Structure 1
Amino acid sequence: MAVLGAYPPGLTCRPIEDSDWDGIIECLGRNFPTRPRSYWERAVARMEKRPVVPDLPKYGFVLDMSGRIVGVLLALYFLHQGQEGEEIRCNLSSWSVDPEYRAFAGKMVIAVLRKKNVTYINVSPAPGTEKVNEALGFRRYSEGQLGFFPLLGSARRGYRVLEARADLPEMAMLSQGDQDILLQHAALDCLSVICVGEGRAFPFVFMTRRVFHGIVPCGQVIYCRSLEELSQCAGVLGRYLLRKGALLCVVDANGPVPGLIGRYFAGSGAKYFKGPKPPPLGDLTFTEVVIFGF
């Protein structure tokens, strides 16, 4: 993968514009042939609804060869209001370059990675790209995934699960950042809930998906403040999720988690970051997992 040298005549790397989408979808279709056009059209529609982060590209970058899109790198920027304050994250996704222009693919990544105050994440690295990620300065922050049965977790007395709504009184027990995460992800068809117990409120976001060759329904953990809180509320969450048709859950992890009964899959769904600090395990908010789906 070459990243140095001048572009050939007619080739430029520039931010994505709204008028580019037909060409982008065609380029993505050429390089991701297993994805139907409808998949990318839905992804574009959902991307267009996301709030813009000031002074940053709204969608990412393209390689433009005299008006024809020959390369795409989607960059999902978002402001994250965490427990340690506000930070900017960027999920790099759908890196797609036509074969004859792949010598210039790295230039798009370099164009994105210039901001030092942004935490960049790659939550779906292509197989065999570990060395490329490392060469670009990315490091692993999630080594695998834990498949667990929340219903087998301890069910604390008095704990209850409430679906997040703007007018729910218990929302006031959460920070404004957590409230925004719950409501914005509910609008993106996720299961946003609050577990309330012992005078405290714990926010969680799940997304339904199917695993084991699309046979088994499960709940993908999109947001929890910590794996400890997930374990603490597992039993009552399990009863709620079972009513939604999910007996199994999946969460990013670096090993077995006390209180979560299941199996750890080392190397499955490894994730990378570059920047000030890694995202916490169990936090896939506003990433391609939510925007694009599985």
Structure 2
Amino acid sequence: MVDCLRRGFPMRSRNYWKHALTRLSQRPAVDDFPRYGFALETSGRIVGVVLTLYARYQGDEIRCNISSWSVDAAFRPYAMKLIWPVLRRRDVTYTNISPAPSTLNANKALGFRLFARGQFAFLPALSPAQPSCRVLEVRPDLAEMAMLCDSERYILLEHAALGCLSLICIRDGMAFPLVLRSRRILHGLVPCSQIVYCRSLTDMSRCAGAMGRFILRRGTLLCLADANEPIPGLFGRYFPRKGLKYFKGPKPPSPGDLTFTELVVFGP
């Protein structure tokens, strides 16, 4: 499987794919859904792979992040047969957060629609912050965790365990959860933090000043958020048609929600 993934994504190292498969093996199973995904095999050789990251959300919502769909060139006519078993459940919301340009037409043919049409790059430390606004790094015994619902506490703790920076912003007596993932952009030259979770981009904007000063002390100046338009209250620039994110199913994720996706589980 690693060999097939390396052929399909030569820019990724063998260690990256070994780490990805190890992380999948460590994630809790969701009902009877596959833990890893599906493979296309011929004569004892794997010639196609699609990885699936399933997660259960509050209530009965189930999402599946489809990742790393790759089929060797000689077997491309079978690529759609590899993906159809994944998409058969109508009660699951499927996401594709890193579609290759060559797969965009296939995404549309399969019924995927955009939930994020661009990205907003911003400098949160330049946003104003109320003196009473506090930002706290999440830990299990943090008293302010009681201000959040069970599902948000779960998201914050699980993502912290997966290497993200999970924060709570306290403002006007209310708690706002934030999850950020460190990554590098522009050919790996520029460090930044990707917004992985917030209740809404509006809530994130209200907390941006305090959050920006918090991460600036850790050496991070720039943030990225998936968005469909410029985000009011933030100092930055909107890039349409960058970082396109797709979904298929009953409950589209909000822009700014990349929870339990390949970016988090596999790493940037």
SS in 2 for 1:181: helix
Residue number in structure 2 paired with 1:207? 181
Q: Which runs of 5+ in 1 are unaligned?
A: 1-23
Query: Residues of 2 paired with 1:201 and 1:105: CA distance?
Result: 45
- The structural deviation recorded for 1:127 is 1.1
- The structural deviation recorded for 1:49 is 1.3
Query: Residues of 1 paired with 2:232 and 2:9: CA distance?
Result: 39
Residue number in structure 1 paired with 2:80? 106
Query: Residues of 2 paired with 1:236 and 1:168: CA distance?
Result: 19
Q: Which residue of 175, 185, 190 corresponds with 1:216? A: 190
Residue number in structure 2 paired with 1:14? none
Q: Which residue of 49, 58, 64 corresponds with 1:72? A: 49
CA RMSD of aligned residues (A): 1.0
Equivalent runs, 1:208-247 vs 2, <5 Å: 208-247=182-221
Whose Rg is larger?
Answer: 1
Residue number in structure 2 paired with 1:4? none
Give yes or no for the alignment of 1:60 onto 2:34. no
Taking structure 1 as the reference length, what is the TM-score of the superposition? 0.89
Contact 1:93 1:122 in 2 (8 A): yes
Query: Residues of 2 paired with 1:45 and 1:260: CA distance?
Result: 38
Query: Residues of 2 paired with 1:245 and 1:44: CA distance?
Result: 31
Residue number in structure 1 paired with 2:238? 264
Query: Residues of 1 paired with 2:137 and 2:161: CA distance?
Result: 13
Equivalent runs, 1:67-216 vs 2, <5 Å: 67-81=44-58, 85-216=59-190
Contact 2:21 2:36 in 1 (8 A): no
Give yes or no for the alignment of 1:43 onto 2:17. no
Query: Residues of 2 paired with 1:232 and 1:112: CA distance?
Result: 38
Query: Residues of 2 paired with 1:134 and 1:210: CA distance?
Result: 29
Contact 1:148 1:250 in 2 (8 A): yes
Query: Residues of 2 paired with 1:165 and 1:234: CA distance?
Result: 21
Contact 1:147 1:264 in 2 (8 A): yes
Following superposition, which runs of at least 4 residues in structure 1 exceed 3 angstroms of deviation?
none
Give, as a single letter, the amino acid of the residue that structure 1 aligns with 2:197: Y
Query: Residues of 2 paired with 1:79 and 1:137: CA distance?
Result: 22
Query: Residues of 2 paired with 1:280 and 1:86: CA distance?
Result: 17
Query: Residues of 2 paired with 1:97 and 1:273: CA distance?
Result: 21
Query: Residues of 1 paired with 2:234 and 2:260: CA distance?
Result: 25
Paired residues in the alignment total: 268
Give yes or no for the alignment of 1:34 onto 2:7. no
SS in 1 for 2:175: strand
Give, as a single letter, the amino acid of the residue that structure 1 aligns with 2:44: G
Contact 2:47 2:71 in 1 (8 A): yes
SS in 2 for 1:237: helix
Taking structure 2 as the reference length, what is the TM-score of the superposition? 0.98
What's the CA shift string for 1:122-180, capped at 9, x where partnerless? 00000132211110000111100000010111202301111111111100000000000
Query: Residues of 1 paired with 2:212 and 2:60: CA distance?
Result: 31
Query: Residues of 2 paired with 1:226 and 1:64: CA distance?
Result: 42
Contact 1:217 1:245 in 2 (8 A): no
Give, as a single letter, the amino acid of the residue that structure 2 aligns with 1:59: Y
* Identical aligned residues as a percent: 58
> Which deviates the most, 258-267 or 212-221?
212-221
Q: Which runs of 5+ in 2 are unaligned?
A: none
Query: Residues of 2 paired with 1:135 and 1:148: CA distance?
Result: 34
Query: Residues of 2 paired with 1:68 and 1:55: CA distance?
Result: 26
Residue number in structure 1 paired with 2:257? 283
SS in 2 for 1:28: helix
Give, as a single letter, the amino acid of the residue that structure 2 aligns with 1:75: T
Query: Residues of 2 paired with 1:140 and 1:31: CA distance?
Result: 24
